[in-house]
Amino acid sequence: MVVAALAGVLIGAVSTRLIREWPRSSAQATELVPVPPTSAESAPADLMLQILPTAAVLLDATDHVRVANRAALSIGLVRDSQLDVPVLTTLVRSVRRSGVPQTAELLLDAGDFPGRVAAVAVRAEPMAAGAVGLVVDDLTETKRVEAVRRDFVANVGHEIKTPVGALQLLAEAALDAQDDPVAVGRFVGRMQREAQRLGRLVQELLDLSRLQGGDPLPGPNVVRVDSVIDEAVDRVHPAAEAKAIKVVRGGESGHEVLGDETQLVTAVGNLLENAVSYSGEGTRVAVGVHLRGATVEIAVSDEGIGIAEAEQGRIFERFYRVDPARSRETGGTGLGLAIVKHTIGNHGGEVSVWSEPGSGSTFTIKLPARPTPSAAEPLPQQAGAQ
């Protein structure tokens, strides 16, 4: 659609340039470089052609490139006044012979290292005296987004199907056991847990969709990191207490960042919840804050099962679970770390992980610090779930 909308403008622009340059002999042509016009009034077609993000190339009857905009040069379509992509040269010659415009979607070698294949939409249109205009639109990002969307919908369908199916089976079992109050109570209790799991999944999907949609932060405010830690630790307190896990705090206090406090509490809370869920009874979870230059680091460490190195590159993906069976037991949705990644990314920071199987894990959030007039004070260690 983008190519169709811009084709008329681009072809018109290059046609204007061709008419102006055609009297020059090809022997006088030099290596093509885009030269901006001196003013918009003197050459509006040239100006528009150069600033458009879609690549445009005009070739004469001998396949010599007469006009190419910056976008065409930047993606490597033209070299030494020649089209440098054989498949496009073949398309141009076919259009010149037939006199009929042609469109195509192609995969081109983008020439990057490591190798990258670019998906492009191409429109070639014949012009006077054997000239051919070529418009090339890079669809790589569009195709990637479409693939992500398809995968996302498929994953969502699979994840929602599990609790919905469980609710259906439990409801049928409760009906069959309606004469046994004890059994009915047991089935209803399990139905309640599945309903809670489904509700959490839907809420996290909405949160992740909003974060990935690139919505701007709702008016970035000054956020006290101490308040974020206080709230996140308070949320995880019941689960930690149930497993006799001590949550300890350390590091520094008094640091501030810019952002949305609710989102940051959710991110740190997700890390703490994972730490508690994947740690054994009677262990310890630690959260510490430190200032490293102009960066505030929030580290969450546990003494849990750890994560194999081969898995660490994927744990921030949606619905990815290192241990699916354990995740089902803990009620995890597989979205917690994806929410952490996108939340911190939207705040201009990053999140990383160190882990070793059997030795626990440490997740570290790094956020740009807001300079404060007073130096941070050390925070004494606090034992026990907070």
* 163, 187, 191 from 167: Cα distances, Å: 6, 9, 6
55-79 mean pLDDT: 85
339-347 mean pLDDT: 87
Residue 32's pLDDT is what? 41
Check pLDDT > 80 for residue 167.
Answer: yes
Do 91 and 74 meet the contact criterion of CB atoms below 8 Å apart? Answer: no
Q: How many CB atoms lie within 10 A of CB 28?
A: 6
Q: In the structure, what pLDDT confidence band is assigned to residue 201 with cuts at 50, 70 and 90?
A: confident
Top mean-pLDDT range of 63-77, 89-103, 323-337: 89-103
Check pLDDT > 50 for residue 37.
Answer: no
Q: In the structure, what pLDDT confidence band is assigned to residue 26 with cuts at 50, 70 and 90?
A: very low
Check pLDDT > 50 for residue 3.
Answer: no
Would you give the DSSP letter of residue 173?
H
Calculate Rg over the CA atoms of the chain.
30
List of residues 6+ apart from 224 with CB closer than 8 A:
255, 256
d(CA 229, CA 58) in angstroms, rounded, equals 60
Do 298 and 365 meet the contact criterion of CB atoms below 8 Å apart? Answer: yes
Q: What is the pLDDT of residues 82-113, one digit of tens each?
A: 888 888 889 999 999 999 999 888 887 765 54
173-196 mean pLDDT: 87
Residue 225's pLDDT is what? 95
Choose between 92 and 42: higher pLDDT.
92
Choose between 16 and 244: higher pLDDT.
244
- Token reading at 257: 């960042």
260-287 mean pLDDT: 91
d(CA 182, CA 344) in angstroms, rounded, equals 47
Lowest-confidence pick of 14-23, 259-268, 285-294, 362-371:
14-23
Write the DSSP assignment of 207-273 as a string of letters: HHHHHHTTPPPSS-EEEEHHHHHHHHHHHHHHHHHHTT-EEEEEEEE--EEEE-HHHHHHHHHHHHH
Q: In the structure, what pLDDT confidence band is assigned to residue 19 with cuts at 50, 70 and 90?
A: very low
Q: What is the pTM of this model?
A: 0.52
- Token reading at 380: 């004494």
List of residues 6+ apart from 166 with CB closer than 8 A:
190, 194
